[in-house]
Structures are given as structure tokens and as C-alpha cells.
Amino acid sequence: MIDRDLINRTLGAALRTGGEFAEVFVEDKRSSSAVLDDGRVEELTSGRNRGAGIRVVVGDTTGFAHTADLSAAGLAGAAEAAAAAARGGGGGVREVSVDRVDGSRPMPVRIPPEDVAKATKVDLLTMADAAARGEGSAISQVTARYGDSRRRILVANSDGLLAEDDQVRTMFSVSCVATGDTGLQTGRESTGRTIGFELFDEADVEDMARRAAGRALTKLGARPAPSGAMPVVVGPGGGGVLFHEACGHGLEADLVAKSASVFAGRVGEQVATALVTLIDDGTMAGEWGHFAIDDEGRPAGHNVLIRDGILTDYMWDHLRARKEGRRSSGNGRRQSYQHLPMVRMTNTFISNGSDDPADIVAGTERGVYVAQLGGGQVNTATGDFVFGMTEAYLIEHGEITEPIREGNLIGNGPDVLTRIDAVGNDFAMGSPGTCGKDGQGVPVGDGTPTLRVTSLTVGGTAA
């Protein structure tokens, strides 16, 4: 993307004020999307964002600047700005020479989305629209979205690292509105993979549309959700959001270092029931949070965070790992070249247990079954977290009965982890997500088998 000589010169300029560490991150991202709404293919959008972010570290201070100008002059200007921000070191000239890192392998993309005709992409939208509307006249509105992106990155730093990656992602979603006597309800279905247009060999957009429509229609007859603490069974796939919020964020080393996490200082302790093994894994080929190298040039890792209930490690980026004298776990990510990297999750999941999912429901006298979760949010310092249920049912006498309306559930991470009393053997990955932290969004995946929390607070309005 830029030649090695220019990289060396840029890193040299970045270290001129005495920086201990300098890094150049170059990104060239092309995106395209198409939206159908209100029965029409409304708009196609495409764009390109390209530039470099330069980071200089002196002591505990980081200076950062970025530029869309990848010429020698543009990079020199950004290097100077980043160096000025982190001044205060010894000064002087340092030679930097970078070497290519082995192991940053190109991802297998069978059908590059850029080679697919726009008309073919648009066809997917109209197929989904027709399929959703075919579910009944109560389906009053349909939005279908197609999106793809190709993100080429190059990372080089003053430790001599030079690594590149080429990340292709493709996604599709359908949202429906159903109108009935009780008002409006919505249903959504989405898929996203770190692969090319071959996504649609496995994802049937008409099926997705029918499922989204079905959700909206089901909710037209939904009762208000109950309120108060009760057992909650989360279906396969969806529960990942729960763990992402309940403990994932709290295991990010930057928050731990500031004691802004309830999990600080607890490595080696039993933090969950023995049924829980939590893994963050950027190497899962094709998953939404997959990559070959993170945005600091480190290979993606398979990191066990909780093993059989015992907290084994946190997630690390370069800066936090460097301070602790250890290696980054491959969790340094950023939204774009305009952002500083920080500790982020990749694909976070709970591995299979041994319970039969049918037994988990049958063994629940009264509670809530959540088939699809929405997003969530956590306060890592207190551990309190919420997540939304977008498709949920009552469990009465061990059976899934009536649908309930949308709402949030609230719990406390460390507390909830000790209340997981059943983990099924039906592991599935959930829907693709965008995780937000400090204003930066990155693609993440999650997954779980069916599992039960003995007590979570359901935020409905019914008694």
C-alpha cells in the first residue's frame, strides 16, 4: 500500500522527538450498500476511505494524528503532529527498519463482492421484499439492506513489525413492520460473514425475510412482558450478547488497568459456575469478528478467558500488554485509520455444555425464553448490564407458551455468571453485531448454546 522506504522514513520522523514506540497504520476501505424500503430499491451507495494513522508513545503518553494524504509529505506531516503530541522524551534520530511478519495470510474469498454486478445485489433485495410481504397482508413495511466492504490494512511499527491484511465482509438484513389492532410491531433477521458474495450460497434471503416477517406477526399478539426477577432461558446463538455485556467488556485490559472493571484482580478465581467456558477467538474463519491480524499487526488469537468457571486471562492490546511485559492477545482494534486502537472483543462465545436444550426448558417452572436478543450495554465498573429481547416467550410449567413484547433485561455480570445452572449442547453463532466503545464501532461475533440463568430481572410492565 505504501513502500517500505517511506514506512521507515515515516517511523523515523515519528520518533524524532524521542518517542519510544511509533506505528503507522494504513487503511484503504471500499464499501458498497443497497437499500430497499417501501417496496422500492431506494438507493445504492458506494465509497472509499483511505488514509494513515500515526501513533507515537512516550512513557504513558500517546500522540496520534492521521491523514488522508498518503504522499511522503502527507505522512511526514502526520508523523510530526503525532510526535509533537507525545513530546517529552529524549529526542534524537532513530533508524527504523521494518520486516514482514509471517502468518498474515490472505483470507479465502471465493467471490469478491466487487466482481458481482450491482443488478445481482439489487435482486436479493427485491426477492426478500416479496418473500416478506408474502407472509400476509399485515406485513405493512419491509426494509432490506445489502452491504459489503473490503478493508486492506498495513501496520508497521518501530519494533520492526510489518504486516498486512485484506478483510472482506458481506452482510444482509431484513426488517419488517406488521400492523394490527394492537398497533405496530417489528421483526428483524440478519446475517454477516467475513467472506465474499458466496455468503448467499448458504444464506437464503427469502428464508430470512420470512423469519423476520414471522417475528413481527408473532409480536402483534404478544402480551406485555412480565416484570421482576425470574429464571431466563436464552436460546442458541442469542446468548452471546449476554456474555459480551455481562463479562466480555469487563475482561478488556484497558478497563481492568484503570480499575474500571469488576473483574480487576480476579484472575485465577472462580467467577462463574463450572459450566461456563468463555472464549474470545478472532481466528474463527468466516465469522463476523474474524481477521488475520488485528489493527496493531498482531495475529488473531484463540483466547480462553474463563475455563470451567475460573477466570484465566483478560484481553490485551499492544499498549496494555507492553506495560505488563507480555504479548498482546490480538485484541487491538480500531474503527478506522482515524481512530486509536484499544482492547476489543472479536468473536466471543460460550462453548457447548452437555444439557439437552429441551430439558432446560422443561425444567423451568415459570420464566422467560429469549429466542432473539437485541443489543446491550454494560457499566464495567459496577458490572450492571442490560440487553434487549426482540423475540421472547413466557415459559409456563416447563413449556414455551405465549409471545411477549420487547423489553430489556438487567443483571449484574459477576452475579449472573454464578447463576448459570444449565448449558445446552446446541451451540450456534448469533447475528453479526457492531460493538461500540468510546465512540468506535467494530464488527463482532458471538455465540452460545441454550442456557439458563436462575434469576435475571425482566423489564416488562406486567405483574
Partner 1 sequence: MSELIDIASRVAGWADEGEQVEAFVVHEHETEIRAYEGEVESLTSAESQGIGVRVVAAGRQGYAYAGTLEDSALRETLDEARDNAAFAQADEFNGVAEPDGVATADLDLFDPAMVSFSTDDKVALAIELERATRAADPRISGIESAEYVDTLFESAVATSTGIASSTRETGCYLSAYALAEGDDETQTGFGFSLGRGPGALDPTEAASDAAERATRLLGATKPATSRLTVVLDPWVTAQMLGIIGHTLTGDAVQRGRSLFAERLGEQVTVADLTLVDDATDPAAFTASMVDGEGLATRRTALIEDGTLTGFLHNSYSARRGATTSTGSAVRPGFKGAPGVGAQALSLRPGSSTQAELIAGIDDGLLVQEVSGLHSGVNPVSGDFSTGAEGLLIRGGELAEPVREITIASTIQRLLLDIVGIGSDLQWLPMSAAGVSLVVTDVTMSGA
Of 102-121, which residues contact partner 1 (CB under 8 A)?
118-119
The secondary structure of residue 247, as a DSSP letter, is: I
Applying CB under 8 A, does 411 fall inside the site for partner 1? yes
Applying CB under 8 A, does 418 fall inside the site for partner 1? no
Looking at the DSSP bridge assignments, the partners of residue 100 are 162
Q: Assess contact for 146 and 34: CB atoms under 8 A.
A: yes
Per-residue contact flags (x/-) with partner 1 for residues 43 to 62, judged by CB under 8 A = xxxxxxxxx-------xxxx
Q: What are phi and psi of 141, to 5 degrees?
A: -155, 145
Give the position of cell 459496577: 382
- Enumerate residues 382-401 that contact partner 1 by CB under 8 A: 382, 384-388
Grid cell at residue 187: 421483526
User: Which residue, 24 or 458, has its beta carbon nearer to partner 1?
Assistant: 458
Applying CB under 8 A, does 366 fall inside the site for partner 1? no
Applying CB under 8 A, does 255 fall inside the site for partner 1? yes
157, 372, 412, 440: residue in contact with partner 1 (rule CB under 8 A) = 412
Applying CB under 8 A, does 133 fall inside the site for partner 1? no
Distance CA(124)–CA(19), nearest Å, equals 51
Q: How distant is the alpha carbon of residue 168 from its chain centre?
A: 15
- Enumerate residues 265-304 that contact partner 1 by CB under 8 A: none
Applying CB under 8 A, does 64 fall inside the site for partner 1? yes
- Enumerate residues 144-183 that contact partner 1 by CB under 8 A: 177, 179, 183
E strands within 206-300?
227-234, 278-281
Query: In sequence order, which residues have a C-beta less than 8 Å from that of residue 276 and are 6 or more positions away?
Result: 306, 308, 309, 350, 417, 420, 423
Helices assigned H by DSSP within 351-458: 357-362, 413-417
Applying CB under 8 A, does 219 fall inside the site for partner 1? yes
User: Which residue, 170 or 380, has its beta carbon nearer to partner 1?
Assistant: 380
- Enumerate residues 221-240 that contact partner 1 by CB under 8 A: 225, 227-229
- Enumerate residues 73-92 that contact partner 1 by CB under 8 A: 81-82, 84-86
Q: How far is the CB of 235 from partner 1 (least distance, A)?
A: 17
Distance CA(251)–CA(235), nearest Å, equals 24
Grid cell at residue 64: 496520534
3, 38, 95, 115: residue in contact with partner 1 (rule CB under 8 A) = 38
